Chains A and B, each alone.
Chain A
Amino acid sequence: MDTRAETLTATGIPTGKIGVWWFLASEITVFGGLIACYIVVRLGSGGWAEASSHLNFSLALLNTFVLLSSSLTMVLAFAAVEDRKPKKLHINLLLTLLLGLTFLVIKGFEYAGEIAQGFTPGAGIFWSFYYGMTGLHALHVLAGIVVNLILLIAALRDTLRPNEHRVELAGLYWHFVDIVWIFLFPLLYLT
């Protein structure tokens, strides 16, 4: 009897998918909690317009396109799994990885520029939140890159079967990280 978790399902929803969605539900409360604090403290402190004007809008805008595009390549990788097109899977996983790394590199440039101007984490309450929120997000991007790298290596070595559904699960996490940035960008850079 095949008793692997992937095959048992009293609800019809694949077990791994339920697991990942519960994980994402808890992550919504982590980022949601942090963002909630940012919103209320900012609203109550006069708006921080001066501090936020020192952010590098163009780099962040570029990063937004990078991350949105990486979501596209990630879901195309999943489509490749469904269509049984291994080359398309490899290319799109690789692109997702590279775009993710690009995001981190650009973020690194942003941080370096800000620190050079003296806007360190200790420079005030706005900067505390800025580094806290983007830093936590960046760590999550890094984790996603690691997961995608592991999947890419397995796909290239053809050891991904019978677990191709993991591409979809990794995609769910990656899209979540993208959605967090969809909110962080306007919260920090557009207001």
Chain B
Amino acid sequence: MKIFSTDHKVIAKQYLSAGLFWAVVGGLTAYMIRWQLAYPETEVPGWGFIAPDFYNMLVTMHGTIMVFFVAMPIMLAAFGNFLIPLMIGAQDMAFPRLNMLSFWIFFLASVVLLLSFFVPGGAASAGWTGYPPLSAKVEYTGVNWGLNLWILALALEFVSFLMGGINFLTTTINLRAPGMTFFRLPLIIWMEFTAAILFMLSVGPLIAGAVMLLMDRVLGTSFYLPERGGEPLLWQHLFWFFGHPEVYVILLPGLGIVLEIMPVFSRKPIFGYRPIIYSTIAAGMLSFIVWAHHQFLSGMDPRLAMPFSITTIIISVPFALIVFAMIATLWRGSISFPTPMLFAIGTLSIFIIGGLTGIFNGSAPVDIYIHDTYFVVAHFHFTLFSATFFAGFAGLYFWFPKMFGRMMNETLGKTHFWLTFIFFNAVFIPMHFVGLGGMMRRIANPMQYEFLQPLQPINIFITIASILLLISQIPFVINFLWSMIRGRAAERNPWQANTLEWRTQSPPPHSNFETIPVVYRSPYEYSSPEVSEDWLPQDQPLAPSAAARQ
């Protein structure tokens, strides 16, 4: 396996490895944050005392790492790169060398971010949102090169994903196999496609904004510095103008994975294929006009609060439709519960709760009370954790046989699921209550505030649950690594699924298919009356009499 391979399957695995590495780092930052919150100013086992500045760095890097270096590379780059050519019937991406370059630029971004931990002053500590003036003047954080490298790492990451986006979009548009019309594409492809469009069109203003921030820090300009005519609020608008579409960029692939898995293990077609697609497009378009719901308390013009509250409430409708479509897909299905299905259903249930708390956050009058509290943290962990981790695990367990040619262990998988599900809820359900109780985000020591002291037992409970949640990932690590080497050999189509990737070998050869498939139907013809089996692959021609009846 060439390290500078242009094969999309290799590149996908490279992104996956990078993402999993950063997930471990991100998990460690979470551990340290939670210990500090539960037992402030005590030594973190395995590390030592945490100064307040260091705590700020931890929360900053936890957010930055999880969003940009775990969710993006795994949900978008790894799954997208692996699945798109296979599921549309192509031999590789449209621009294989650009693809290879995009990974290595991401690798460079990772190196830069890793480096930022070791420079004098430490890594960035102005929050993952990097608001100026805190982030624009070195004196305010005491972090000099760490923040510059943070901006550089993000810029490189954006370049990498712009390149990837060009590949995803062009490939899906132009390299589909004969018969693979847009409305015969599997939903995961629609989701990756839409996510790529959202990213491509929303990241530009933040790139401009990041250039401006770097210039303020390094060249002495004053874009965000009020004392010389600048506007701190400008950054917030630029950041969230991208930031909101970005959360859908990492959400949509997760939903797509669930939508692929549910029909397979219900032996039923997806319910509402076209409405799901139209909802996704609608949500994508709406995502460009909701961003200031992150800024209700920023001091922006208060008249902006109502329009943005309205658009935010409206955007819940297409997502609700997708949720109902998922439930309707399961309804009266012939359901089995292997590990991918458990994680898919887990994603759905957790996402519903996260979506519901989003409605509270999106209403300006309520948000005035809960902004910058742990209620928000609970909300976005319910939505993001479900979309990234639960859906990501679902996808890994589901496509592992295709990626690595081996089966994973079911017992370890089910153990991993139940432990993760139980401890995730143990961590984040109580978090709503500490948030409503008034606990603010990003504080290093809740015990310093008298009104928070009664909540401390909940904080301790959350911390213990979070440590157990981290430990619960061990069955997955063991399963993943061991199965890769010694798992039972996988056949072409262990799940008896319809989409094109299951028609070729496990793992697929370099050019994916012996001959380019021809597609005759949608991907979700399960329990079709046309055939005796309960599945009907997309590229299987029917016998003449059956074909005539279709």
Contact = CB atoms under 8 A, between A and B. Distances in A.
Q: Do chains A and B touch in the complex (CB under 8 A)?
A: yes
Contact of A22 (B169, B202, B207, B216): B169
Interface string A9-33: 1110101001100110111111111
Interface string A111-145: 00000000011101111110110001000000000
A41 B219 contact: no
A125 B212 CA distance: 11
Contacts of A31: 204, 208
- Looking at chain B's contact residues, is the secondary structure mostly helix, strand, loop, or mixed? helix
B233 to A, nearest CB: 11
23 contacts: A5-B94, A8-B90, A8-B174, A13-B174, A18-B174, A19-B95, A23-B162, A23-B166, A26-B203, A30-B204, A31-B204, A33-B241, A34-B212, A36-B205, A37-B234, A122-B222, A124-B222, A125-B228, A126-B229, A127-B221, A128-B222, A128-B223, A132-B211
B221 A122 contact: yes
Contact of B204 (A3, A5, A32, A120): A32
A3 B162 contact: no
Contacts of B241: 33
- Looking at chain A's contact residues, is the secondary structure mostly helix, strand, loop, or mixed? helix
Interface string B197-216: 00011111111110110011
B175 interface: yes
A45 interface: yes
A33 B235 CA distance: 11
B219 A131 contact: yes
Given A22-B166, A125-B229, A33 B209 contact: yes
Given A3-B91, A27-B204, A28-B204, A132 B215 contact: yes
Most-contacted residue by chain B among A13, A131, A132, A136 (CB, 10 A): A132
Given A15-B175, A37-B208, A26 B200 contact: yes
Contacts, number: 127
Contacts of A121: 215, 219-221
Contacts of B95: 5, 19
B476 to A, nearest CB: 36
B212 A15 contact: no
Given A3-B91, A121-B219, A124-B222, A132 B205 contact: no
B200 to A, nearest CB: 5
A136 B90 CA distance: 37
Interface in B46-101: 90-91, 94-95, 98
Given A124-B228, A128-B222, A29 B203 contact: yes
B165 interface: yes
Nearest to B178: A10
A128 B166 CA distance: 31
Contacts of B169: 18, 22
B422 interface: no
B84 to A, nearest CB: 13
Contacts of A26: 162, 165, 200-201, 203-204
Given A15-B170, A23-B166, A124 B204 contact: no
A127 B222 CA distance: 9
Contacts of B206: 33
Contacts of A8: 90, 94, 174-175
A29 B176 CA distance: 28
Contacts of B174: 5, 8-11, 13, 15, 18
Interface string A44-75: 01000000000000000000000000000000
Interface string B142-177: 000000000000000000001001110110011110
A45 B223 contact: no
A22 B229 CA distance: 35
Interface residues of B, number: 44
A33 B208 contact: yes
A3 B407 CA distance: 32
Nearest to A36: B205
B207 A132 contact: no
Interface of B: 90-91, 94-95, 98, 162, 165-167, 169-170, 173-176, 180, 200-209, 211-212, 215-216, 219-223, 228-231, 234, 238, 241, 511, 516
A36 B216 CA distance: 18
The 4 A-B pairs with the shortest beta carbon distances in the complex, nearest first, are: A29-B204, A33-B205, A125-B229, A122-B220
A136 B200 contact: no
Interface of A: 1, 3, 5, 8-11, 13, 15, 18-19, 22-23, 25-34, 36-37, 41, 45, 120-122, 124-129, 131-132, 136
Contacts of A124: 222, 228-229
B85 to A, nearest CB: 11
Given A15-B174, A25-B200, A33-B206, 10 more contacts: A3-B91, A5-B94, A22-B166, A22-B169, A23-B166, A29-B201, A29-B202, A30-B208, A121-B215, A125-B230
A22 B511 CA distance: 26
A23 to B, nearest CB: 6
Contacts of A34: 205, 208, 211-212
Nearest to B207: A30
Given A27-B204, A29-B201, A120 B220 contact: yes
A30 B98 CA distance: 21
Nearest to A18: B170
A131 B169 CA distance: 33
Contacts of B203: 26, 29
A45 B204 contact: no
A28 B207 CA distance: 12
Contact of B211 (A18, A28, A136): A136
Contact of B94 (A15, A28, A131): A15
A27 B159 CA distance: 11
Nearest to A9: B174
Contacts of B219: 121-122, 131
Contacts of A13: 174
A9 B176 CA distance: 8
Contacts of B90: 8
Contact of A125 (B201, B202, B223): B223
Contacts of B202: 29
A47 to B, nearest CB: 12
Contacts of A36: 205
B94 A19 contact: yes
Contact of A37 (B91, B212, B516): B212
B153 to A, nearest CB: 18
Contacts of B229: 45, 124-126, 128
B379 to A, nearest CB: 28
A10 B222 contact: no
Contacts of A41: 231, 234
